Amino acid sequence: MSEQLDSEAATDEPVFPTIREVDAMAPLRWMRQGIGDFKACPLPSLFYGFCFAAMGLLVTAVFEHAYEYTAALTSGFLLLGPFLAMGLYEISRRREEGQQCALSPTLTVWTRNAGNIGIFAVVLGIVFLVWARASLVVFALFYTNEMPNLSGFLTEVLAMENIEFLLVYFGVGLLFATIVFAASVISVPLMLDRDQDAISSMLASVGALARNPAAMAIWAALIVTLTLLGFASFHLGLVVLMPIVGHATWHAYRDLVAPVDSPPASAPV
């Protein structure tokens, strides 16, 4: 009897996710599916889009008054993205199950696995603090006397007058952005969908990147491009583009992680 109970308890525990290989063009499929979710549930999706736009306005305001902190705040934008997108994941999940589009059930979706989501937030928060500190250190190394004003700094950047600074600055930023992307690409959907623990979710996310480098590189490039387009459109683009990315991330999770009762398999083309 005790062996039977132990066996049943073991089956109730979340198993480590099985990562599938996907084709390199899979991110385009995820984007099409994300657009479909946005069209089907525009109002709740737009609510989160306006939240992203508000974050973008904050980044721009900091850039105008203290540009040396922009990288740190931009990293905060990237770190908060997966948490803000939880509602978008829930919208996509509910649509999969044929449920009605609604905003209110998505606002508290984080309570489904609050403990592990909290651990994940602490881990990314530490990365954020280190990234912010590294950004200021790079500025301090290259501007030992006095920081130029914003117009002077932009002139230097556009004229490529301080190429060493740019290489180091963007190199450090790329390193931290890669760490954040690797740890978060599918981790939050995993924690919400399967009650997975934070460490296993982050390891599975890193595994998805390692097993699908081409698809993940294209996916990262799409996210960065759409984010830049959103900022370039005076933040209006963020209202639409960020919800689509959020919905598409849910479909990326569905594509990359095999169902619990399914054997490992490549995703359909």
Distance CA(90)–CA(108), nearest Å, equals: 10
Percent share of the chain, pLDDT over 70: 79
Nearest CA to 215 among 24, 20, 21? 24
234 Cβ partners below 8 Å, 6+ apart? none
* Backbone torsions φ then ψ of 164, nearest 5 degrees: -65, -45
Residue 266 pLDDT > 50, yes or no? no
Residue 67, exposed/middle/buried by CB under 10 A (0-12, 13-18, 19+)? Answer: middle
Q: Where are the domains of the chain?
A: 21-256
Which residue(s) pair with 257 in the sheet? 19
166 Cβ partners below 8 Å, 6+ apart? 157, 160
Per-residue pLDDT of 116-146, as tens digits, reads 999 998 888 888 888 878 877 887 888 766 6
Give the chain's mean pLDDT.
84
Per-residue pLDDT of 174-220, as tens digits, reads 888 888 899 999 999 999 999 999 999 999 999 999 999 999 999 99
Cβ atoms of residues 101 and 44 within 8 Å: yes
